[in-house]
Structure 1
Amino acid sequence: MIKAVVFDCDGVLVDSERINNTLFAELVTRAGLPTTLEQSIARYMGRSTVESLADVERELGRPVGFDLPAEYERLALARQREELAAVDGVRELLGLLRDAAVPVCVASSGTPHEIAFRLDRTGLAGYFGPHVYSAYMVARGKPEPDLFLLAAERIGVHPADCVLVEDSPYGVRGGKAAGMTVIGHAALASADTLRAAGADHIVTAMTQVPPLLGLG
């Protein structure tokens, strides 16, 4: 029986992944490693900026030469002030979970500041209260299970009793490693990619999630 639902933020709660990956690809290209939007999605989506930067610098064989995480956060927040919206159907899903008294939380690779901004900007913060957890709170980010284990511990629910909604293969792998049931939201990452990462269910819209949770 499902006792809690854990949500990734970017691409699951807020429609930000195309913005984020477009900007990240531009910055990595500026650093000297030509990168397309599609390559950014495949290599970095779902991971923390710091861990992604480490991969970039390993491939370059040198530091990027500028504060890429700070520049990324500045540019992303500027774009999101103008363009950010909640993912279609997620507000209704959160309302159903609230009505059913099912605990929810956020487990995201974003910084605490980035997550708070995105939830506030889209009016979703009130659904989660203090239960917002960042990869910057644990030693290892996605695809390791640390963030999801922290989230389950903080909301007081065993990981096996949690459903995770994720849109990246890194997040899916982390959720499965933590012992959670994972719903893969195939938006930018393909259904096949999420299924190969271990997703138990695949959806292409949030309206498909309630029946999987026994709601609506």
Structure 2
Amino acid sequence: MRYDLVIFDNDGVLVDSEPISNTILAGYLTELGHPTSYEDSLRDYMGAAVHRVHDLILERSGQRLPADFDDVLHERVFAAFQRELQPMDGAVEVLEKLSGDGVAYCLASSGSHERIRVGHRKTGLDQWFTEDRVFSSQDVGRGKPAPDLFLYAAERMGVAPEKCVVVEDSPLGVQAAVAAGMDVLGFTAMTPAERLVGADQLFGDLRDLVDLLV
């Protein structure tokens, strides 16, 4: 194994949440008078913490989102997760393999701890991620594309950044991993390869991941 720690993004890598959450986000922003298509949401917000939504809307429109925006958005997303969320194809097999081989891994997500827990309970991935392996943008001052979250995860796991590899599917996440001085494998299941500039390697099937780590 070339790496001492595998750091997974969550949304779109381990759980199939990006279509659900971006559909809801686009609809809610449009409802509030900020017309946003599903494609717009993927382009602008995929892989980002919710503060980026506030920042971009304010920058583009000069208007602030409602004070309860985060709560309403999370309520709608969590309800949809309970109905629809599934693990990404191949996620269980990869986690079984890493765990069986004794490879250290963790999760570093732009989502809140509550969002991560809700998704993992629904998909059964909670058995693979104890609390000490889960890190959220809530834990640091700045979310992706800043490197803070990945550096925090590595520090908590006791591994130097240069010995970590990040598995990411968003441009912001790839930027964050590169800024952290980590290798990054770009997952192209939902994201066009040309948008993951900076990734060391690209792959489209989670089952290929283990071979890429060797």
Q: What TM-score comes out, normalization by structure 2 length?
A: 0.96
Q: Displacement of 1:191 after TM fit?
A: 0.8
Q: Displacement of 1:66 after TM fit?
A: 5.2
8 Å Cα contact 2:54/2:64 also seen in 1: no
1:61-210 matches, cutoff 5 A: 61-65=62-66, 67-129=68-130, 130-194=132-196, 196=197, 198-210=198-210
Q: Paired residue for 2:48?
A: 47
Q: Look up the SS of the partner of 2:202 in the other structure.
A: strand
Q: Deviations over 1:130-160 (max 9, x none)?
A: 2100001101100000000000001111111
Q: Deviations over 1:8-42 (max 9, x none)?
A: 11100100100010111111112222111111001
Q: Paired residue for 1:30?
A: 31
8 Å Cα contact 1:25/1:40 also seen in 2: yes
Q: Look up the SS of the partner of 1:202 in the other structure.
A: strand
Q: Paired residue for 2:211?
A: 211
Q: Displacement of 1:67 after TM fit?
A: 1.9
Measured in 1, the distance between the counterparts of 2:72 and 2:190 equals: 23
Q: Displacement of 1:186 after TM fit?
A: 1.1
Q: Look up the SS of the partner of 1:6 in the other structure.
A: strand
Identity %: 41
Q: What TM-score comes out, normalization by structure 1 length?
A: 0.95
Letter in 2 for 1:180: M
Letter in 1 for 2:204: T
Letter in 1 for 2:100: D
8 Å Cα contact 1:7/1:164 also seen in 2: yes
Which 4+ stretches in 1 moved above 3 angstroms?
none
Measured in 2, the distance between the counterparts of 1:25 and 1:183 equals: 28
8 Å Cα contact 1:109/1:134 also seen in 2: yes
Q: Paired residue for 2:13?
A: 12
Q: Which structure 1 residue ranges, 5 or more long, are not aligned?
A: none
Q: Look up the SS of the partner of 2:80 in the other structure.
A: helix
Measured in 2, the distance between the counterparts of 1:64 and 1:101 equals: 45
8 Å Cα contact 1:27/1:68 also seen in 2: no
Q: Paired residue for 2:59?
A: 58
8 Å Cα contact 1:28/1:56 also seen in 2: no
Q: Deviations over 1:99-143 (max 9, x none)?
A: 111111110000110011111211112212121000011011000
Q: Displacement of 1:174 after TM fit?
A: 0.2
Q: Look up the SS of the partner of 2:94 in the other structure.
A: helix
Letter in 1 for 2:25: F
Q: How many residues align?
A: 212
Measured in 1, the distance between the counterparts of 2:201 and 2:179 equals: 16
Measured in 1, the distance between the counterparts of 2:37 and 2:189 equals: 17
Q: Which structure 2 residue ranges, 5 or more long, are not aligned?
A: none
8 Å Cα contact 1:104/1:128 also seen in 2: no
Structure 2 residue 3 is matched with structure 1 residue 2: yes
